Structure 1
Amino acid sequence: MNRSVPSASILHTGQLGPKYRAILPRAVREALHVTEGDTLLYLVDGEQVRITTRRQLAQEIYGSLAEEDGRDFTHEISAERQAEAQREKP
Structure 2
Amino acid sequence: MDAPARAMFAQLDRDGDGYLSDIELLPIIGKIHPCEHYYAKQQADYIISQADVDKDGRLTLAEMIENPYVFYGAFFSDEDEDEYDFHDEFR
TM-score by length of 2: 0.29
TM-score by length of 1: 0.29
Q: Which has the higher strand share?
A: 1
Q: Relative contact order, CA 8 A, sep 6+: which one is greater?
A: 2
